[in-house]
Amino acid sequence: MNTPAALEDTVLSRIYGRGRGWAFSKKDFSALGESGSIDRALSRMAEKGVIRRVMRGLYDYPAYSKLLKKDLSPDIDQVAQALARKFGWQIQISGNAALNIMGLSTQVPTQYLYLSDGPSKTYQVGNIGIEFKKTRFTQLGLKHTANEILVQAIQALGERPLNQDEKQKVIQYLVNTSGMKDVVESGQLNAVLVNRILKDTQYVTSWIASNIRQVLMNKEAP
């Protein structure tokens, strides 16, 4: 049986493995031990300042800005995904929320909307609201959450070529969410990442897939 210290080390190792910005609840560690023990381990780590309590029962390993020399605000999509895992919901980000997350909207968001098969609920993270709206929707069926956000954002922009500024913001988002080292090689995205995205999005609506290919291959629209 794990001692409290050993359990804490195991949980912390998993958190470090997911990287900064990851949000989570005790359910994400259910295979490691008894619920109450994990709950206490997370509480101890939060008290030590190793992780941050975002709301009751939900934490994150905060991203850190070397420029600002401080922890950044919680990643809203990470929090939404953690809540969905905690309660067993299927969720899908709305187009407007995807635009905000990718920096493709000039509007300052106060509310992020997600479609959900769970109950309609709103959670507050600082001055940002996360709204889950119960509705019927078709899952995109993509393996990677970042690609789902990419598809929803491009769909929200409409059936048109992306301009250069939009392409640069898409590339920056893909780099930041890749989870890969050396993601940019000779000014181009790593071929492994490009192939991963293309494979994951190959069956989305054709004009959306075309826009994604143009961004990844650095090609101008015809």
> Which CATH number characterizes residue 20's domain?
1.10.10.10
Assigned domain for 166 exists: yes
Could you tell me if 61 and 13 lie in one domain? yes
**165: Cβ contacts below 8 Å, ≥ 6 apart:** none
What is the average per-residue pLDDT within 96-117?
90
> Is residue 222 very low, low, confident or very high in pLDDT (cuts 50, 70, 90)?
very low
Gap between the Cα atoms of 163 and 149, Å rounded:
18
Q: Into how many domains does the chain fold? A: 3
Q: Give the residue from 65, 87, 109 where a domain finishes.
A: 65
What's the residue count for the chain? 222
Could you tell me if 212 and 149 lie in one domain? yes
Could you tell me if 55 and 81 lie in one domain? no
What is the average per-residue pLDDT within 156-181?
89
Structural domain boundaries enclosing 107: 75-134
Q: What are phi and psi of 29, to 5 degrees?
A: -120, 20
Helix segments in 49-105, DSSP class H: 76-87, 95-101
* Predicted local confidence at residue 185, as pLDDT: 66
Could you tell me if 128 and 153 lie in one domain? no
Assigned domain for 87 exists: yes
| Whether the Cβ atoms of residue 70 and residue 64 lie closer than 8 Å to each other | yes
Quote the DSSP letter at residue 78: H
Could you tell me if 90 and 127 lie in one domain? yes
pTM score of the predicted model: 0.85
Mean pLDDT for the chain overall: 91
Write out the two tokens for 214: 């143009």
Residue percentage of the chain with pLDDT more than 90: 77
What is the average per-residue pLDDT within 116-140?
91
pLDDT in tens, 67-102: 999 999 999 999 999 999 999 999 999 999 999 999
> Is residue 106 very low, low, confident or very high in pLDDT (cuts 50, 70, 90)?
confident
